[in-house]
Structure 1
Amino acid sequence: MENSKVGCIVIHGFGGNIYEVEPLAEYLVNKGFEVSCPQLKGHTGNRQDMKKATYEDWISSAEEELLRLKEKTNDIAIIGFSMGGLIGVNLACKHDIKALVTINTPIYYWNLKRVLLNLLEDIKNRKADNLQRYMRARKNSPIPAMHNFLLLLNQTKPLLCKVKCNALITQAKDDDTVRIRSVDYLSEHLSSEHKEIKYYSNGGHQILRSQSADNVISDVTAFLDSLRN
């Protein structure tokens, strides 16, 4: 059925869950968007589930929600956080999409300099916040899952040129997981006629749960609002 609303599918990242993108999703709902947040297959918090799921499963999980959303509205925007942006590219190549938004999406990953600075910050503050986060990430990233992430990345890069919808690329400058030059690669290879780039000085990888969240949400919403005009 047709609907005047813009539908937004908001896709979380590798080893994560809906919590990562919840602030943005809730804000968009309150602003009148039709929003769907799929939980990617294997992303249950159980290491064995993560080991069994393939990157094709992750894409299918998001595609199922996309098809459900298409029953409610014809105008769809895909918002992908981290690896969710790679999944978004795959879906944008296959379906008629109004726009693609990437948030800290990796082409080049692990900023080791930033990791070291974060660990030094732990020592300075006599805390272990960053160390604990890295340990959790390691626990949630079994080798088969990491292999599938790399397969997804390698499959997605050649598809970027097939994306022609409007695109917004957002990136935290202090992201320890995604190197900032990923933005240049995305911008150069996406075939979108209209592309915007937004950088944020602070926020780290989990930017939607950071002090910069409001700025990111405001920029994404403004970009999506422009689609309704």
Structure 2
Amino acid sequence: MIQITNMAVLVLHGFNSCSRDVKVLSDYLRDRGIYTISPTLAGIKGTKQEWNTTTWRDWISNAEKEFKNLKEEFKKVAVIGFSMGGLVALYLTYNYGADLITMVNTPIYCGDIRKIMEKVKRCIKKRSYDPIKYYCNVINETPLWGALNLTRGLNECIPLVEKIKTPLLVIQGLKDEAVRWQSADYLFCRSASPWKKKIYYRNADHFIFEGEEKEDVCREIFHYLMQV
């Protein structure tokens, strides 16, 4: 791989997740000559004991360390956040000055109950119960402490949106049941950035980097990075 720019990209995964969920994007950018790292945030994808001994501050500590190191080594640093990782990206951009921020399926308004119920009904009709099992596992595996700290992160980061003047790309899947599509509208409209773009993907659900439109999503992000 040949490094084509003096830019580094920090890719951040979501809540109850790990860097594997953004691997498709990370690999896509690396293959095109952009230095990319995607750390696993502390406690997010660990045991319940780890969940119960970490906070929102612990979650962002890994990202802060990596971001500061990149700022020392590269002329430009972009930060990309998937789901809750978008909140961490927002925090880093405001506090440490990213050169570009991309937020993918990032929550302002959480949980589209209508979409969840529609999906459950379709699954029952098809007698396919894997999605239902997935929802049950998420509820069972996510301690209340983790949910409370996600709320803390939301409360801390939402007021920062209006203070962001960095070039901004907002991406949202319209079939996302974990994040309501109005979140993308909020991020785009409230941001003070003079250079911003919003893209909806009609057939994409929350795990957008696993779906049929993942190549298009990665391509759009890459092209946006190249314009900065």
TM-score, normalised on structure 1? 0.95
Instruction: Give the aligned partner of residue 111 of structure 2.
Output: 110
The Cα of 1:5 is off from its aligned counterpart by 2.4
Q: Paired residue for 1:75?
A: 76
Query: What pairs with 1:126-165 in structure 2 (closer than 5 Å)?
Result: 126-165=127-166
Superposed CA deviations along residues 136-192 of structure 1, whole A, max 9, x for unmatched, are 221332101100000110111111122111000000001000001111111122111
Percent identity between matched residues is 32
Distance in structure 2 (CA, Å) of the matches to 1:98 and 1:140: 36
Question: Are 1:45 and 1:140, in contact at CA under 8 Å, matched by a contact in 2?
Answer: no
Correspondence list, 1:32-47, <5 A: 32-47=33-48
Which letter maps to 2:24? P
Amino acid aligned to 2:70: L
Contact 2:5 2:33 in 1 (8 A): no
Aligned residue runs from structure 1 range 46-85, under 5 A: 46-85=47-86
Amino acid at match of 1:90: Y
Counting matched residue pairs gives 225
Gapped regions of structure 2 (runs ≥ 5) = none
Alpha-carbon offset, residue 43 of structure 1: 2.0
Please tell me whether the aligned partners of residues 50 and 140 of structure 1 are also in contact (alpha carbons under 8 angstroms): no
Unaligned residue ranges in structure 1 (runs of 5+): none
Q: Which residue of 2 aligns with 1:211?
A: 212
> How far, CA to CA, are the matches of 1:21 and 1:118 in structure 2?
24
Tell me, in whole angstroms, the C-alpha distance in 2 between the residues paired with 1:94 and 1:70. Answer: 13
Q: For 1:206 and 1:133, how far apart are their aligned partners in 2? A: 13
SS at match of 2:73: coil
Cα distance in 2 for partners of 1:136, 1:68 equals 36
1:196 maps onto 2:170 in alignment: no
4+ long deviations beyond 4 Å: none
Deviation at 1:111, TM superposition (A): 0.3
Q: CA RMSD in A?
A: 1.3
2:121 maps to what in 1?
A: 120
Give the TM-score normalised by structure 2: 0.95
Residues 5 and 34, structure 2, Cα contact 8 Å, conserved in 1: no
Distance 1:10 1:136 in 2: 26
Please tell me the residue identity of whatever aligns with 1:47: K
Q: Which is further off, 16-25 or 71-80?
A: 71-80
Name the SS of the counterpart of 1:116 in structure 2.
helix
Match of 2:102 in 1: 101
